[in-house]
Each structure stands twice: as structure tokens, then as C-alpha cells.
Amino acid sequence: MKNKTIFDRITDFTIAKDLQKNGLYPYFREIISEQHTEVFLKNRTAKKILMFGSNSYLGLTYHPRVKEASEAALRKYGTGCGGSRFLNGTLDLHVELENALANFVGKEEALLYSTGFMVNQGVLSTIVRKGDYILSDKFNHASIVDGCFLSSARMIRYSHNDMEELERKLKKISSEGAGVLVVTDGVFSMEGDIAKLADIAELCEKYSAMLMVDDAHSLGVLGKRGDGTASHFNVIDKVDLIMGTFSKSLASVGGFIAGEKDIIHFLKHNSRAHIFSASMPPSSAAAALEAVKIILEEPERIEKLWENTKRMKTGLEHIGFNLGDTETPIIPIIVGEMEKTFLMCKILEEEGIFVNPAAPPAVPPNRSLIRLSLMATHTDSQIDYALDKLENIGKKLGVL
């Protein structure tokens, strides 16, 4: 049989077109307002829709101070830097943000990347080399998986949060004398559960492995000051690398890696994703910096986020939805069948509720889900309205 050409593979991809044809396509919905708890969609301009799909956990993307800081940086520095951080693209603002982030997560230094996805690609493809191993949780984010593939190391995946399997594999690798790095999400972005970071740290210490945690969904959510998973488990000194993004609680776009100064120095001069990318726009850096300040000054935002999470989770469990093992403001409603998940998403939108569907390969086969995410700025009445609609639609579709 003749091998398919590149164009054949492209034209054979019909899943999205079939969903569009059936009116169930749930992606690239155009929002024409700020990311508040209520938004306007382009096709629903007559009425606002409740936003339960945003990762802006603390509601800072529309905070006046964040917007003002971004505007001030735009006026002072312009729209961009015209180069990479390595050459002409380093501003004093970038350095100030790196220092603030290092202090925030309890590490010596931090290094900015232009996106969070690039952090995982740039760090993992640089830190480990041929002959090394990366042990990665099977539910880790796609950016971690891609970073592993870009490295010359051998990636070995362990079952989700399975410490016995992780130890077996660490023990086997340690007998070979190879370098090993363990990487895990702090909060898993689809399931909403938390990595067993204290146990992972103990195993890494036992088998002399480097440990990296992706705190994209943990910053502003977990920890004594919203400072992430390592703080939550009190193992900051046992975690070598802490990664974070700005597109969630930090109300901007970009990312960073934090660790010992020697590690950051090495990445500054070897990470291709950092050296060969244009530096973060000043307005984005200023927004993230102001968001960090607000998180530290207003701990009540995190308290309110958890109050809202408890209200929604308790309500959904009472109704009878399967929420898996979620422990955080990410609450999955496990539907199973992909088309039913997309149908539920569509009906919810028609009822005034914006949610995100997750289907393979983002989740395992036959485990498609509706992903709800809470914000500190949601009101009790908004949550109760969503619960009422979810119960009615869940009964109608046989999801309960």
C-alpha cells in the first residue's frame, strides 16, 4: 500500500468539520468583552453569559491596578523590545519581575520565558541530555511531554500519582548510574487533583534525582501565600525547579522557571527557547508583577476562591455528578462519551453558562468531561444559577 502523503493526512482529518456540521463544535468561541465572571460572546451579544471556563482564578485580569500597570509600561517602554533577552531585549522591568517571582516561590533566582509552554520546552530540552532519564506523570501537561520529546533523554511515564511505580522505576534507573529528572504538574489541569509532591520529593532525595514541578495551576491557588505546591506541602527546599505561567492567576501571558542560581545561570546561556525568542512585552511583564503584589497584599482573594470551590463542588456532588478526584478550583464533570460532552457544552451555553469540554487526547479515551473552573470573583448567586442549570441538563442527558 502506498504511504499517505502529508496532504492526504490533512484532508483525512474530518473530526472537527463533522462537529461543525452537526452544530457541536465547541472551540474558538469569540469573546468580545473582558474575562470577567460574565462575558459577551460574538454570537450572543444580546445577553451576557456566565464564565465558568476561565483560568483567571483570582479574577485579576480586569483588576484596575493590573490594567494601570500594563498601560504605564506600554507608555514607558513601547509595545515590544525588538530582540531577545540574551541581546537587546532585557529591561529593568524583566529583572524586577524575576526577582519578585524568585522571592514569591522561595528560590534564589528566576528566569522569564515568553510563554508558559516555552518554559517546559526550553527547560526540559536543556537540563537533561542523551543518556539521562525523565520520569513524567502520565497526566502531565502537553508542554511537559513536548519538552521531554525535544530532549535527548529517555522519557519514561509512570501511572498517575502512583508512588509505588515511580519508586520501582527510580530504583531501576539508579542502578544504572544515569542522571534522572522527575517532572510533575502541581495541580493537574484536567482532573483538578494535586501531585503527591511530598512523597515525590522524598523519592527524589532517596534516589538522587532532580525534581521539577509545573505550578501553572497552583500559583494563586495553593500554598501559604498562594505560592504553589511546594509551599503547600512545605517542601520548597526539596524541589529543584518550580515552573509557573502568567496566564492563570497572574493575569498576563508568559512564564518562568525558578531554582538555584547556578541552574538559572546555566539555562540563561543554554536554553534555546530563551536565547532565540523575543523577550516578553513590557506590558505583560508589568501586569504579572502587579498581580504578584496583589496576591501577597490580598490573601482574602485566595480564601474566597476556596469558598467558591467548596460551594460548587458540594453542590455538584449533591446533585450526583462524577467529579473524579478533584481537590482544587478545577472541577471536572466526567461525562464519558465525547459527543454527549460536546452536546452538554452546547446546551449549557444556550442556557447562559460558558464551560470547556475536554476530549481525547487531552483526557483518556471514554473519559471526556466538562471542565469547570472557579474564580474568586464568582458570586454565590452565579454559582447557584450554574448548579441549577447543570442539574437540569445532567438529568436530561443522563449524565447523573
Q: Which residues are catalytic?
A: 189, 217, 248
User: Is residue 382 classed as helix, strand or coil in its secondary structure?
Assistant: helix
Tell me if residue 377 falls in helix, strand or coil.
coil
Total Cβ atoms within 10 A of residue 322: 15
Type of residue found at 385: Y
Spatial CB neighbours of 187, under 8 Å, sequence gap ≥ 6: 193, 194, 195, 215, 216, 217, 218, 221, 222, 229, 328, 330
Characterize the bridge pairing of strands 180-185 and 210-214.
Answer: parallel
Answer yes or no: are the C-beta atoms of 107 and 242 closer than 8 Å: yes
The Cα-based distances of 349 to 313, 354, 400 in angstroms read: 20, 5, 19
| Grid cell in block for residue 375 | 474564580
DSSP assigned state of 219? B
Query: Closest Cα partner for 38 from 367, 359, 379?
Result: 379
Query: Does 361 sit behind a cis peptide bond, omega within 30 degrees of 0 on the bond before it?
Result: yes
Residue 237 and residue 235: Cα distance in Å, rounded? 5
Query: What residues are paired with 81 via a beta bridge?
Result: none
**Cα(181)–Cα(292) distance, integer angstroms:** 29
**Rounded distance between C-alpha atoms, residue 176 and residue 179, angstroms:** 9
DSSP 8-state secondary structure symbol assigned to residue 279:
P
The owner of cell 541581546 is 87
Contact 318, 394 (CB under 8 A): no
Three-state secondary structure of 286-322 = HHHHHHHHHHHHCCHHHHHHHHHHHHHHHHHHHHCCC
CA dist 319 to 42, 120, 322, Å? 32, 38, 10
Residue 311 vs residues 38, 270, 373, 383: alpha-carbon distances, Å: 19, 46, 12, 8
